[in-house]
Structure 1
Amino acid sequence: MMTPFTSLTAGAAPLLRDNVDTDAIIPSREMKTVGKTGLKDGLFAGWRYTEVGGREPEPGFVLNQPAFAEARFLLSGSNFGCGSSREHAAWALAEYGFRAVIAGSFNPIFRGNCVRNGIVPVALPQDAIATLAQEAPEAMTVDLVARKVRAASGAVWTFEIEDESRQMLLEGLDAIALTLLRRAEIEAFLDADCRRRPWIYPGATTGTVN
């Protein structure tokens, strides 16, 4: 289970670059674990630190600026999350504390990885992102229930998200938990199939799949 997301008002950090690939989000040298923790320090490591492999903050990078220290939204350009399919990119963003990425467009695999890890992928026109970036770090709102983004100035934009992805994020469901919502239907099918083809289920009681 993941932390559900319904609506959140928080600051946004502007990283207004197109084609931010997954190796920039989490360089391969920073992928020292197969779990979802221990990755946040490697987030944007190539831009965030002054030296490769080091931890001396690069003062000009947005996440190192005090005004954006508590940002929970990331603003970026088109084709965000392109490159390799590494899920570590979404893991690192989530562990750092980002709950939504607002970009012009997303790589489809990365977009799916965001949903499976509790991050709302919000695609908005570039002029909307520019407006939000001008207002940063003032708090903005991402409302997944209404599918809307509200700027501090009051401007509102609607974004699209698939119903299944929205349900997963609203209810904090991973792919397995989403499937198990239909557990009764699955079990009913298996029991009926066991009666039709008992030879497929060795050791099962007739008509019942254990």
Structure 2
Amino acid sequence: MNDHAAFVRAHTRLAPVPLVPEVVLYQAEEAIALWEQTESGSAEQQPPPFWGFAWAGGQALARYVLDHPALVAGERVLDLAAGSGLVAVAAARAGAAEVTAVDIDPLSLAAVAANAAANGVPVNGLEEDVLDQDADADVVLAGDVFYSREMAERMMAYLRRAAKGGAHVLVGDPGRAYRPVGLHEVAAYDVPVVATLEDASVKRTTIWQVRAG
């Protein structure tokens, strides 16, 4: 799968995000079909195509950022496990000085680039596992990252280091099973989601702040 950009465009369509209609994303219409197409294009096992959908945590974070632009205005922002790059696009629209979208999936980075271009905003893409590093950002944003125990543990270690280093850290989470305790609620939204991906058509999604202490 050499042309990731072409693959993203071939298997998605540009459409507004339900909770954030001022942002458009290249979104897949059917999850299983997209996953099968992703696997068939490579000899190796591929990550799930998280980049093809507007997940609840990302939608809530994007809504919060756009409604509170002072959070990111003039700041260096990191969208962690970026997927489609929805949160990165929202941060760029809200006036961030620099936005970096990080993910380990090259298709995600292709989706991020396509979605940033579609919305007319600059977003830097970084294909790397950064969770054992220290954050180099003023604001760290992460949506839907507590879907497995291992991911939640590594993610929280990174996010707490980021908070201790002075970053403002927010996570959007729709009640995933491995959300850690001790987070501080900032806001909550009822987010329309793809029913075939979730157990409902609307997910109550909370914005949590990760603090140093």
So what's the TM-score if we normalise by structure 2? 0.29
Larger Rg over CA atoms: 1
Higher relative contact order (Cα pairs below 8 Å, separated by 6+ residues): 1
* TM-score, scaled to structure 1: 0.29
